[in-house]
Every structure is written in C-alpha cells, then in structure tokens.
Amino acid sequence: MSVWLTLLIALAAIAAGGWALRFAGQKLTGNKPVFRDMPYAVAFGYVLGAAVLVFAVWYFFQPTMTEQGTPVAGVMFFRWAVQAFIGFAVAAYLFRLLGRHVGTAGSRKMFRQMPLTASFGILVILIYAFLAVFAGVLAPYGQAEVFQQVNALPGGNAATGGNPDHLLGTDQIGRDLLSRLIYGAQNTVGIAFATTCLAFFLGGSLGFLAATLQGWFDQVLSRAVDVLMAIPSLIFALLLMTIASAWAGSEKWLLTVYMVIIIAVIDSTRVFRLARAVGMNIVVMDYIEAAKLRGEGLRYLIFREILPNATAPLLAEFGLRFCFVFLTIASLSFLGVGIQPPLADWGTMVRDLAQFINFAAFSPLTAALPLMAAGAIALLTVAVNFVVDWMLYRSSGLKE
C-alpha cells in the first residue's frame, strides 16, 4: 500500500515539477521559443527523466548486503547492469576513437560519422567473430571436458562457492562454462549465420524471380509459400527434424546439416515474401524496362539491377531473421533435436541451467549461471540490430 502511495506522491511531485520547469523557463529566458512552445507533456517528460536518473543513482549506491549478511539481489543485478552498460559504452567510444585514427581514409570517414550504438554493435560482432574463429585456442578447456566440481559459481572465489580454475563456474555435470561459452560462439553463431545466409539465398532469389517473371511462376511459388507459412514453424521444424534424425542415423554432424537446411527453408518463406514485395516495387521502374528492352537476361536483371536497390530492406530483415534463426536453433536444441550434445550451444546452456534462476533472490551469483548464456544471446541480438539500423540509415541517406 505504502509503495503505491509513495509512487502517487512522486507522480504528483513530478507533474508539479513539469509545470514549474516550463513556467520558470519562460520567465527566466524571456519567452524563448523553446519554452514558449513547449507542450506540457514534454516538460513532464523532462522532469520524469530527471527523477528516474536521480533514483537510479541513489539505488546504485545502496549497500549490496543487509546487516544480517544476506545479499540484496536487486541492487546487485542493477549494479552489474549499470557497470556493463557503462563498460560497453566506454569500450564502444574507445573503439570508435581508434577507428577514427587508424585505417584507410574511407574507414576513418566511416567511423567519424558513426553513432555510438553502431560502433558498439560492430565491436561486439568483431569480438564474437574473433571468439568463434579462435575458440580452440582461446578456450581454457575442451567443450566436452568434465571436471570434479559441479555447479561451481562464477567469480572464481572459493569463499563464494567458486573455483579459481573455472572463472565462470561449471555446469551440473562439471563442464567449464567459460570454455562452453566460447565454443558456443562458434557453434551457435556459426550455424545460425550459415542458416540465415542460406535462407536469404533461397528466399531472396526466388522472391526476385517471382517479382520479375510474375504470371503462373509467381502464383505457384507464392501459394506454396502460403502453405508453408500456414504451418506453425517450430512444430513444422520439429516434425521435419524427427524425420531427419531417422535419416541421419548415428551421424550426428549430418543431423546438423539437415537442421540448417530445414530452418533455412522454413525461414526463406518470410524472406521470399519480403523480396517479392520489394522486387515488385523495383520492377516497375523505367530502368528495369530499359534493361528488358536491351535484351538482358534474368540473371543480370535480378543480380545487377534489382538486388542493389533492395539491399536496405533485405539487410534490415537479415538482422531480425538472424536473431529468429538463432532462437529457433536454441529451441530445437532444448527439445533435443538441434545441436547435439556434447557440442556447446548457448540455447542448450540456458535451458540446462534455467532452474538456477529461482535462486536469484538469495544468491545472485547462482542465478548468473543461466544469465551468462542468455546475456551472450541478447548482446549479439542487440549488436546485430544496432549495426543493421545504422546500415539502413546510411543506405537510405545516400538515396536522397
């Protein structure tokens, strides 16, 4: 009850503050247009933002332990989040600074115009790519190696339940989490990337083909895609994977190949729709007509005339689709038909360790076990989308 009352009072204070801000602004600046034409809602927003900021700072400096010695989970999680946020922001800033002074004239110019979000995204993607490529060298242990201590907590401090040999702890059967996270970059990201590329190749080329040829070809393909899209994708994938696992037999790697193809085909239906719609808008342009009248073949029309003009929406879709594929693979892995153990996979790691999230209130470090893999997924998703946003902005900016 008292929480609600506090909130209500705070809200009233902010409301009054907004009015006061605008009034004071008008009086002090002699009716500058900024304050004169400021709607009340905007003034309210400024004060609300300021209040949230003050609260955040206050909350950040709350003690992490109660006097009885039990941890205050909320404050701890909040501190981690803020520290990570500031850390990444600083890293992104430094990375951009580096980019502005190192490299070719073109890349320096690119970094000069880059927003911080995009440099953050690029930095994260580069780190992931680096980890994925050099996983074998970087990981302290093998991804399938099993150790004595199970469920060691992150931190490497024996006093808090950690183990100095395993900086990020171990899972229920004693595998080193740091190593598995690093190998996960290789498996999960690599496979998801390959799948998305395949889906875009399939859906994109067929979509453009349908847009260019139209007529019965378009009809047949579009209706086939409608049918595929009508079946819930996860269940459909599961069904196909069950069949595929029978085909693959004991060849585990073959199952992974089947999974890539199945997810690529299912996701290519979405890409097909987008490519067809975008392509439709492009094929009505006069330059396509000019190329047709020149006697150009289909391949030239699609890859030289249409594709360069469709990259912006396709790139945006690529970012989104990549994240979806990523999550689909994680879901399938959890259900036992995706990436096969003992290969490390972030989705499987989250699932395996998921029950530890229940301990969040008593032992934040325990809850961090599943959060690390989840955070790895989230970070990449955010990074990819930041980069895609920026690329979109750039390509649309060039157009006008």
- Among 369, 379, 377, 316, smallest CA distance to 192 is for 377
- Minimum CB distance to other proteins, residue 295 (Å): 5
Instruction: Please measure the distance between the N-terminal and C-terminal CA atoms of the chain and give it in whole angstroms.
Output: 55
Residue number, 26 or 385, with CB nearest to other proteins: 26
- Minimum CB distance to other proteins, residue 308 (Å): 4
- Minimum CB distance to other proteins, residue 394 (Å): 13
Torsion of CA 348, 351, 356, 358, to 10 degrees: 160
- Minimum CB distance to other proteins, residue 42 (Å): 12
Cα separation, 133 vs 333, whole angstroms = 22
Cα separation, 161 vs 157, whole angstroms = 7
Which of 10-15's residues contact partners 24+ apart within 8 Å by CB, and which partners?
10/51, 14/44, 14/47, 14/48, 14/51, 15/44
Residue number, 67 or 286, with CB nearest to other proteins: 286
Residue number, 3 or 398, with CB nearest to other proteins: 398
CB crowding 190-222: b at 16 or more within 10 Å, else e: ebbeebbebbbebbbbbbbbbbbeeeeebeebb
- Minimum CB distance to other proteins, residue 298 (Å): 11
Three-class secondary structure assignment of 39-52: CHHHHHHHHHHHHH
- Minimum CB distance to other proteins, residue 223 (Å): 23
Residue number, 252 or 292, with CB nearest to other proteins: 292
- Asked if 310 contacts 302 with a C-beta cutoff of 8 angstroms, the reply is no
- Asked if 60 contacts 68 with a C-beta cutoff of 8 angstroms, the reply is no
- Minimum CB distance to other proteins, residue 35 (Å): 11
Residue number, 101 or 399, with CB nearest to other proteins: 399
Cα separation, 255 vs 360, whole angstroms = 36
- Asked if 187 contacts 256 with a C-beta cutoff of 8 angstroms, the reply is no
DSSP state of 170: B
DSSP state of 365: H
The count of other CB atoms within 10 Å of the CB of residue 313 is 17
Residue number, 235 or 284, with CB nearest to other proteins: 284
Residue number, 130 or 217, with CB nearest to other proteins: 217
- Minimum CB distance to other proteins, residue 300 (Å): 9
Return the ∠ at Cα 211 (arms to 205 and 217), rounded to 5°. Answer: 85
Residue number, 75 or 213, with CB nearest to other proteins: 213
Positions in the binding site for other proteins (CB under 8 A): 33, 36-37, 285-287, 289-296, 305, 308-309, 398-400
